Amino acid sequence: MIRTCSHCGAKNRVPARHLADAGRCGTCKNPLAPLNEPLDVDATVFFEITGEASVPVLVDFWAPWCGPCKMAAPLVAKAAGNLSGKAIVLKVNTDEVPAIAARFNVRGIPNFAVFKDGEIKWQQAGLLSQQQLEQVALGQA
């Protein structure tokens, strides 16, 4: 994954297993914070992150035409900020990557799932609150 340094704008390659870790920019040596926002991913990046991440991965299966998905988007973004360093949040557009949705039996959206060590640990369709998203990502629900 490529992360851009907020201080100097340099692009830093960060392995999927370290997206939840704090690091340093390779150019300016300033801190590079753990991922704190949802990542829109394609199939390749999805399987790389869910397979290699050292922390749980919360996935939001969504589509741009879905009203409840639009309602969930700011909640997912806030949860990603609060989960920084503890979990990674991914967004999968089911219109653009239908094979992933089919593989995990996503029949209704929004649909949320938690992956750990490359395996699905929890899944539920329907709108969830920010607090519920954070709890399921950390295995507290």
Contact predicate 133/122, CB 8 Å: no
- The residues assigned a catalytic role are 66, 69
Q: Where does 31-86 have alpha helices with state H?
A: 43-52, 67-82
pLDDT tens, residue by residue, 45-60: 999 999 999 999 999 9
pLDDT tens for the chain, 141 residues long, are: 888 998 999 999 999 999 999 999 999 999 999 999 999 999 999 999 999 999 999 999 999 999 999 999 999 999 999 999 999 999 999 999 999 999 999 999 999 999 999 999 999 999 999 999 999 999 986
CATH numeric code, 39-137:
3.40.30.10
d(CA 19, CA 56): 11
Residues forming CATH 3.40.30.10 domain(s) in the chain: 39-137
